């Protein structure tokens, strides 16, 4: 570069610096310059008036923070680094500000200059609005994920019986797969808890767990609840789109409870989701790609429903890739002590069960399964003033006792048993069951058996029960 070009370069550079300063100073709300001690050496009239000074000369010599509360020009002077874009709160309105260090020819910081770009804030409005929108959407998504995280793990499925261990073994194995899982069993056996546990142990555990109960939603609304709706999809619908459970579960797990009650038309659409991995919102022609893992549960006999024409066979075969039969409580009575202890602990109850009360629990058929057990224990704990829940407390809490059906082994008489021996065995079992039902009250048991109190005592003595 020759001398003439160098002179032109320096001249253009100086003009550019002066032009830039003049443009920013004229278009900004205010400009202020400080020295190396962060004392104001110059401030324009607009900025001075903004901070309550009628004459800009009154600010000269003052520390910048005294005139401009919240100013960071001292930081720029001390560190020698610019703050190119920042928000500064003031008593009037927030300001978008820019702060630059001033250096001498040797590169030493000798001061700083600040521009308040308030008049240009409107130009940043689209950017700020988009940023705020993204922040709100992110917060909403995080809140949704927190609200839809699985609540239970396999540790919450209490039981060490052979039936319980087999269920947990199959469920754990299914957790690592992507295939649909079908949970079969009576109501109250813990199918939803298992669904949560499978999701918690799966690679999708960090994503949403979304559940929908086909029996709890009116048929007319079920499709919209499932697939979502496009804007204005039907009369009275919101102008904006409403996401369905499929969209909320994207990337995670969708739990379809009581799927046996799902209407046939919706079953065919669910089958398409499982096979094609796509669906359409109600009122929309746009295909949405689906990435979900499906866990379904039902308390009805799906094979019988297929024969009645109430359930699609192709959907059943698609769902039952990994079927898990959850046993009723009456088939896992060995788990009663652990279940009862866990339920009382969950209820934060200080009560304990008397061994005779636990024996009474084992006499009940539990048609409502674990849900009924929790109900009984909670009622007994609330009604009892004693720390030990005895037979009477449990009997009162159960209400009507549903005796367990005799097993085939119990129904078959013992080999070489005489009529008298069989009669004695029957009388003993009948009296024992009745006494348990009556919480040991002999008078009530006698009345229920149609005997007098003394007659019952005699029979008990003859049977060695007195």
* Arithmetic mean of pLDDT over the chain: 84
Q: Which of 259, 235, 234 lies closest to 245, judged by CA? A: 259
Average pLDDT, stretch 229-257? 79
CATH 1.10.8.60 residue ranges of the chain are 330-398
At residue 367, does pLDDT exceed 90? Answer: yes
Nearest-angstrom CA–CA distance, 29 and 94: 12
Nearest-angstrom CA–CA distance, 316 and 186: 18
Please tell me the least confidently modeled range out of 113-127, 169-183, 224-238. 113-127
CATH 3.30.450.20 residue ranges of the chain are 3-122
Q: What architecture (CATH level 2) is domain 154-327?
A: 3-Layer(aba) Sandwich (3.40)
Q: Does domain 408-462 have CATH number 1.10.357?
A: no
pLDDT for the residue 465: 65
In the structure, what pLDDT confidence band is assigned to residue 231 with cuts at 50, 70 and 90? confident
Residue % of the chain over a pLDDT of 70: 82
pLDDT for the residue 408: 47
User: pLDDT tens digits for 149-165?
Assistant: 667 888 899 998 999 99
Considering only residues 267 and 455, tell me which one the structure prediction assigns the higher pLDDT.
267
CATH 1.10.10 residue ranges of the chain are 408-462
Q: Which of 58, 54, 60 lies closest to 33, judged by CA? A: 60
What b/e sequence results for 96-111 when a residue is b if at least 16 CB atoms lie within 10 Å of its CB, and e otherwise?
bbbbbbbeeeeeebeb
Q: Which of 42, 36, 16, 225 lies closest to 112, judged by CA? A: 36
At residue 335, does pLDDT exceed 90? Answer: yes
Please tell me the least confidently modeled range out of 84-88, 177-181, 200-204, 210-214. 84-88
Please tell me the least confidently modeled range out of 259-273, 364-378, 436-450. 436-450
User: pLDDT tens digits for 1-60?
Assistant: 555 555 566 676 677 767 767 766 666 778 899 999 999 999 988 888 888 898 989 999
Strands 30-35 and 109-116: antiparallel
At residue 83, does pLDDT exceed 50? Answer: yes
pLDDT for the residue 39: 95
Q: Which CATH number fits domain 330-398: 1.10.490.10, 2.70.50.60, 3.20.20.70, 1.10.8.60?
A: 1.10.8.60
Sign of CA dihedral 197, 202, 204, 205: positive
- The CATH code of the domain at 3-122 is 3.30.450.20
pLDDT for the residue 399: 87
CATH 3.40.50.300 residue ranges of the chain are 154-327
Using a cut of 0.85, tell me whether the model's pTM lies above it. Answer: no
């Amino acid at each position: 570069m020759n001398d003439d070009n160098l002179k032109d370069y320096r001249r253009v550079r100086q003009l550019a610096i002066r032009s830039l300063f003049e443009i920013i100073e004229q278009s900004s709300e205010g400009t202020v310059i400080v020295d190396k001690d962060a004392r104001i050496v110059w401030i324009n009239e607009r900025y001075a008036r903004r901070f309550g000074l009628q004459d800009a000369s009154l600010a000269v010599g003052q520390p910048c923070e005294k005139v401009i509360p919240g100013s960071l020009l001292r930081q720029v002077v001390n560190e020698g680094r610019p703050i190119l874009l920042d928000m500064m709160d003031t008593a009037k309105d927030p300001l978008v500000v820019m702060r630059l260090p001033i250096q001498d020819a040797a590169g030493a910081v000798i001061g700083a200059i600040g521009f308040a770009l308030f008049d240009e804030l409107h130009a940043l409005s689209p950017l700020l609005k988009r940023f705020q929108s993204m922040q709100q959407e992110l917060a909403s998504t995080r809140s949704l994920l927190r609200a839809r995280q699985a609540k239970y793990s396999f540790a919450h499925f209490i039981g060490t019986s052979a039936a319980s261990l087999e269920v947990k073994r199959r469920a754990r194995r299914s957790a690592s797969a992507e295939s649909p899982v079908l949970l079969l069993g009576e109501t109250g056996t813990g199918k939803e808890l298992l669904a949560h546990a499978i999701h918690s142990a799966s690679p999708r555990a960090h994503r949403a767990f979304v559940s929908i109960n086909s029996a709890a939603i009116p048929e007319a609304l079920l499709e919209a609840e499932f697939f979502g709706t496009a804007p204005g999809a039907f009369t009275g619908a919101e102008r904006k789109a409403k996401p369905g459970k499929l969209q909320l579960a994207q990337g995670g797990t969708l739990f379809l409870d009581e799927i046996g009650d799902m209407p046939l038309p919706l079953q065919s659409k669910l089958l398409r989701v499982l096979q094609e991995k796509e669906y359409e919102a109600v009122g929309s022609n746009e295909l949405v790609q689906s990435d979900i893992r499906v866990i379904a549960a039902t308390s009805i006999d799906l094979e019988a429903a297929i024969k009645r024409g109430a359930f699609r066979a192709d959907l059943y075969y698609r769902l039952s890739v990994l079927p898990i039969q959850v046993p009723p409580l009456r088939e896992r009575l060995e788990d009663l002590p652990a279940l009862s202890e866990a339920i009382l602990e969950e209820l934060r109850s200080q009560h304990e069960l008397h061994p005779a009360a636990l024996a009474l629990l084992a006499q009940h058929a539990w048609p409502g399964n674990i849900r009924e057990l929790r109900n009984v224990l909670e009622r007994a704990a609330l009604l009892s003033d004693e720390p030990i829940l005895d037979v009477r407390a449990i009997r009162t809490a159960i209400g009507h006792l549903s005796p367990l059906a005799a097993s085939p082994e119990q129904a078959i008489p013992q080999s070489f048993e005489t009529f008298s021996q069989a009669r004695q065995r029957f009388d003993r079992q009948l009296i024992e069951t009745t006494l348990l039902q009556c919480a040991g009250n002999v008078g009530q048991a006698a009345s229920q058996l149609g005997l007098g109190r003394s007659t019952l005592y005699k029979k008990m003595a003859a049977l060695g029960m007195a």
